[in-house]
């Protein structure tokens, strides 16, 4: 399994509060708010304890501003990632599953820092091979990236056959190869894929 020891202090189980306290954006908000690391250096076992201290330390209006600023920073990060600024890219991971005449497929879009920008999932009652289900997931992943107005796109799939077919789409003469070629026309919507 995975080690649950927090890598920076090696002394405790990692908790959500470790993540929040080490988040550069949360740190910036607390430092800008002139809190002098009071909320950053405390010892908290649960995230709710830290949030209670934040709310105790700040009056209601400032607490609202704190959370509003944190949400604004996250939204700005999302906009920067999808607009392709500073060499940013969007990674879209697609996957599917086939079981008893049904398929499930989905796509998750993340920015260069791993921040989730959006996702999509769907299902259908039809009996198809796994590769056709993967093609459906690819189609939905490209639609997701288009809806997010992504400039620079990285597509990810765990299906080697689909990846190879996409790479060599101009050479495939099968029906599936032609369908992949048709779906890949959506690549024109992006600066780089």
**Residue spans per domain, the chain:** 16-85, 87-189
Residue 179: what pLDDT? 82
Residue 77: what pLDDT? 62
Which secondary structure element, helix H or strand E, spans residue 113, and what is its range? none
Residues of the chain where predicted confidence (pLDDT) is lower than 50: 1-2, 11, 36
Range 87-189 has CATH code 3.30.420.10: yes
Tell me 169's DSSP state.
T
Residue the block writes with tokens 């400032």: 62
The C-alpha atoms of residue 149 and residue 97 are separated, in whole angstroms, by 27
Residue the block writes with tokens 């959370």: 67
Residue 35: what pLDDT? 55
Question: What are the tens digits of pLDDT across the range 141-152?
Answer: 888 888 888 888
Residue 176: what pLDDT? 78
- Quote helix, strand, coil % in the chain, to nearest 5: 50, 20, 30
The C-alpha atoms of residue 170 and residue 162 are separated, in whole angstroms, by 14
Residue 2: what pLDDT? 47
For the chain, the straight-line distance linking the first and the last C-alpha, in angstroms and rounded, comes to 34
Which secondary structure element, helix H or strand E, spans residue 184, and what is its range? none
Question: What are the tens digits of pLDDT across the range 27-39?
Answer: 666 665 555 455 6
Instruction: Pick left, alpha or beta for residue 59 (phi over 0 → left; psi -120 to 50 → alpha; otherwise beta).
Output: beta
Residue 74: what pLDDT? 65
DSSP code string of 4-72: -B-TTTSSSB--HHHHHHH-HHHHHHHHHTT-TTTTTSS--SSHHHHHHHHHHHS-HHHHHHHHHHHHH
């Amino acid at each position: 399994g995975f080690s649950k020891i927090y890598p920076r202090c090696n002394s405790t189980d990692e908790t959500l509060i470790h993540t929040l306290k080490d988040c550069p954006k949360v740190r910036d908000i607390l430092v800008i708010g002139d809190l002098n690391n009071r909320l950053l250096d405390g010892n908290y076992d649960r995230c709710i304890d830290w949030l209670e201290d934040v709310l105790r330390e700040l009056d209601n209006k400032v607490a609202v501003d704190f959370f509003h600023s944190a949400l604004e920073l996250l939204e700005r990060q999302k906009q920067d990632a999808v607009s392709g600024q500073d060499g940013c890219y969007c990674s879209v991971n697609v996957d599917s599953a086939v079981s008893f005449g049904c398929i499930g497929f989905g796509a998750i879009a993340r920015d260069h820092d791993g921040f989730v920008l959006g996702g999509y999932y769907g299902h259908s009652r039809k009996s198809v091979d796994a590769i056709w289900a993967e093609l459906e997931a690819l189609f939905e992943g490209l639609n997701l990236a288009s809806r997010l107005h992504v400039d620079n796109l990285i597509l990810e799939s765990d299906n080697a056959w689909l990846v190879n077919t996409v790479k060599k789409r101009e050479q495939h003469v099968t029906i599936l190869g032609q369908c992949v070629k048709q779906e890949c026309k959506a690549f024109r919507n992006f600066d780089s894929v």
